[in-house]
Structure 1
């Protein structure tokens, strides 16, 4: 019974996410006729990513709010969504590669000519997006088996917390889509940028001390002592997950700074070139 339910979850994910990607590509290609194949693939990838992240966040909140005991309480969504979302991780690697391929071909790069899928294009993609690829593969090859087989049904609350790290992804995707639509200089894009930073910091950085605090609250341990009461593998695992999140957050801050300085220079030049008044 359990095995059948898990296989159904994986099958649903294997149909839903690639299916959404194909349908979105067809719709965009027929409606946005001035877009290139790269534009269509990029936006389709981002839309599917936003849908998966929204579902993942909703599942995480459901699991978290259903577990009063952070260790022993369980919820069926914890295991179910891990398998449901696993096909998305594999699909997204392919979608990212396809987006990279069309982007390079659109720029006329060598090795990306029409029909130019090759080991060279795959290698270029892996070199550029290696961290995201490793992140996706780690979720498939490490996080999935640990969740399903090695935690002995304990800690569903913390699995729910990890699901909620996807909360910032729809806003990241929206930012990319706004740029694609030529709305990168609008107030909406600037507001979305602030939301990206706040949501990313809250749900991908602060979520880790929050999990330690919740564990300490249940067992009467001060926050600064919680790490010493946990097995080394738990602390190491959290650090491994946290490290790329901190790196990506630094990149987001640098990007936000560049955009701010560029817009500030643009306003300054506009004032200089503006009409003089007596």
Structure 2
């Protein structure tokens, strides 16, 4: 298992470093903020794709949702741990260079406790999400499950399915393609995949547990230990918050495009 941790520690920081080098050389007109932001998104998309593949493999391999096990669960948890730490650093670096590009006077002295504090205040929920996965989810998965519930861990891996599409949307905006049909189609995929794999996956897990033990879906929560229900709520709550943000953003884009089309049609003669 130590091999998985070392592999992750090499792969994800290595990808981030090399993407920054390649993008800086390829898109010479991009700022450091642009390069770091897109590099972060690319690494995030790769990690999410691997997590989804691992999750699907585990879920389809487990017949008994409680007792069946798969070696990929513990291996990928350790492999993905360095990604979480690297992504916090990448998010900080992206925020730092973005503020620097805007001429924030507080950054003139370079990296400092002040810049770290500003980052944590701005992106506290994402940072907390990563830290919870690192310091709570990882130990529970490796040491406290007693080999049970690999199926459910696999389901949680698949919640990353929407992340590559979120990353694609950010990259399309970076490339100036935010007013294209491709961006709109990708936005629809983001909403559908996020709702399916990050929200509906929780009732799906409860339903599968009920199917295993002959319990109606509405009664499953009462047959589970309190800490299981609390843990699921802790993971689900930010997903609902982020989905709400995605819906608001989609609505703003729709209204903006609708307003733009209306303005573009002003003064045109009717062609009945």
Q: TM-score range by the shorter chain?
A: over 0.9
Aligned length: 271
Residue 14 of structure 2: aligned partner: 19
8 Å CA contact retained: 1:111, 1:118? no
* 1:163-197 CA distance string (max 9 Å, x none): 00000000000000000000000000000000000
Pairing 1:263–2:221 present: no
2:185 to 166, 186, 191: 191
The 1-side partners of 2:54 and 2:268 are apart by 56
Query: How much does 1:112 deviate?
Result: 2.0
Give 3-state SS (helix, strand or coil) of 1:198's partner.
helix
The 1-side partners of 2:76 and 2:260 are apart by 46
1:236 to 216, 230, 237: 230
The 2-side partners of 1:202 and 1:275 are apart by 42
Residue 176 of structure 1: aligned partner: 170
Query: How much does 1:276 deviate?
Result: 4.1
Query: How much does 1:254 deviate?
Result: 0.4
Query: How much does 1:206 deviate?
Result: 0.2
Residue 142 of structure 1: aligned partner: 136
What TM-score do you get using the length of structure 2 for normalisation? 0.98
Give 3-state SS (helix, strand or coil) of 1:94's partner.
helix
2:41 to 28, 32, 46: 46
Pairing 1:89–2:84 present: yes
Residue 66 of structure 1: aligned partner: 61
The 1-side partners of 2:147 and 2:37 are apart by 38
* 1:26-57 CA distance string (max 9 Å, x none): 00011101111110000000000000000000
CA RMSD for the aligned pairs? 1.0
Residue 212 of structure 2: aligned partner: 218
8 Å CA contact retained: 1:171, 1:195? yes
The 2-side partners of 1:142 and 1:151 are apart by 12
The 2-side partners of 1:243 and 1:220 are apart by 28
Give 3-state SS (helix, strand or coil) of 1:111's partner.
helix
Residue 206 of structure 1: aligned partner: 200
Q: Runs of 4+ in structure 1 displaced over 3 angstroms?
A: 274-278
The 1-side partners of 2:105 and 2:136 are apart by 36
Give 3-state SS (helix, strand or coil) of 1:238's partner.
helix
* 1:67-107 CA distance string (max 9 Å, x none): 00000000000000000000000000000000000000000
Query: How much does 1:275 deviate?
Result: 4.5
The 1-side partners of 2:102 and 2:155 are apart by 40
2:4 to 6, 9, 13: 9
Structure 2 unaligned residues grouped into runs of 5+? none
The 1-side partners of 2:245 and 2:180 are apart by 22
